[in-house]
Amino acid sequence: MSTTPTQESRSYVTVGQENSAPIDLYYEDHGAGPPVVLIHGYPLSGASWEKQVPALLAAGFRVITYDRRGFGKSSQPASGYDYDTFCDDLRKLVMHLGLREICLVGFSMGGGEVARYVGKYGSEGVRKAVILSGVPPYLLQASDNADGVPKDVFSGLEAAAVADRYAYFTDFFKNFYNTDVLLGKRVSEQAVQANWNVAIGSSATATVACISTWYTDFRKDLARIDVPTLVMHGDADRILPIAASGAKTAKLIKGAKYVVVKDGPHNIAWTHPEIVNPELVSFLK
């Protein structure tokens, strides 16, 4: 990792190596003040926070977004699609930028990075945590998680992504935004299409490999979170139903603030910014 990056490489941090090529994460770093790291959801990129970044900058925060490996402008290696690696990637970005007293904000899969980061590295250096429509605590049906999702559901999603990921993403975004209810009201056809365009630019390997990470067990990670935490979730989320995710996560994190967005789909950050942004700014301040 160069300490004096060139103009071209200034927005990248090297987190690993695959054969002859470095594994680089693309990031953007704007503003001044307390640092907030925004961690995107599947299958998007850091650019998906476009409705939150201006609000956070206006509130006096330094805002860092980045693209998870396999997505956006980051490298697309053939491996490393697990939460320990995702968490290590985030750690390398934090260290590269010399960030202190960070606020970690994760949407969907990004909620997993928030949980695993504190679970693995502890809360030293973390000021606050936010999980929006997050994948924790544990989605898989098991003997100690009877109301979880059967594994064959995830296997079916993997099979669909392998067979035709372009069609798979089309169906995925219908439930990402509840388009049968919200299209033309809280999300436009063009916004959905733009998301699809970003999604198909992601790694085909990552598209499939990330699906099994959704049922990572974060329960021990959540138990280690001892900083102020905000959990927000839409009560109409069809990707990660609130009863299996947000509601349980809020109970497992001591003292967590829990906000339910009425009629909110999975991506409440886009469809309900008038609720999400004030809650986010108020909590982070």
The candidate with the shortest Cα–Cα distance to 247, out of 233, 261, 236, is: 233
Report, as an integer, the average pLDDT of 182-189: 98
Dihedrals φ, ψ of 61, to 5°? Answer: -100, 155
Would you please indicate which residues are annotated as catalytic (active-site) residues? 108, 237, 266
Least confident stretch, 95-104, 146-155, 168-177, 268-277: 146-155
Specify the CATH number of the domain 12-284: 3.40.50.1820
> How would you write the chain as a 3-class SS string?
CCCCCCCCCCCEEEEEEECCEEEEEEEEEECCCCEEEEECCCCCCHHHHCCCHHHHHHCCCEEEEECCCCCCCCCCCCCCCCHHHHHHHHHHHHHHHCCCCEEEEEECHHHHHHHHHHHHHCCCCEEEEEEECCCCCCCECECCECCCECHHHHHHHHHHHHHCHHHHHHHHHHHHHCHHHHECCCECHHHHHHHHHHHHCCCHHHHHHCHHHHHCCCHHHHHHCCCCEEEEEECCCCCCCCCCCHHHHHHHCCCCEEEEECCCCCCHHHHCHHHHHHHHHHHHC
pLDDT band with cut points at 50, 70 and 90 for residue 279: very high
- For residues 213-242, one letter each, b for 16 or more C-beta atoms within 10 angstroms of the residue's C-beta and e for the rest, the string is bbbbebbebbeebeebbbbbbbbbbebbbb
Is the pLDDT score of 8 beyond 50?
Answer: no
Residue 158's contacts (CB-CB under 8 Å, 6 or more residues apart) are 208, 211, 212
Q: Give the pLDDT band (50/70/90) at residue 9.
A: very low
Mean pLDDT of 198-225: 98
Q: CA 274, CA 242: separation in Å to the nearest integer? A: 20
Q: What is the dihedral of CA 136, 140, 145, 146, to 10 degrees?
A: 140
Bridge partner list, 37 = 64, 104
Q: How far apart are CA 114 and CA 205, in angstroms?
A: 23
What digits encode the pLDDT tens for the residues 99-121? 999 999 999 999 999 999 999 99
What number is the average pLDDT over the span 46-74?
A: 98
* pLDDT of 3 strictly over 60: no
Mean pLDDT of 5-32: 86
pLDDT at 242 over 60: yes
> Taking a C-beta distance cutoff of 8 angstroms, is the pair 140, 131 a contact?
no
Residue 6 pLDDT > 90: no
pLDDT at 10: 61
Q: Is the pLDDT of residue 2 over 70?
A: no
- Pair of tokens at residue 250: 């809020």
- The stretch 235-262 carries a mean pLDDT of 97
Domain layout of the chain by residue ranges: 12-284
**Burial profile 89-118: b = 16 or more Cβ within 10 angstroms, e = fewer:** bbbbbbebbebeebbbbbbbbbbbbbbbbb
In this prediction, residue 147 has a pLDDT band, given cuts at 50, 70 and 90, of: confident
Per-residue pLDDT averaged across 147-162, rounded? 95
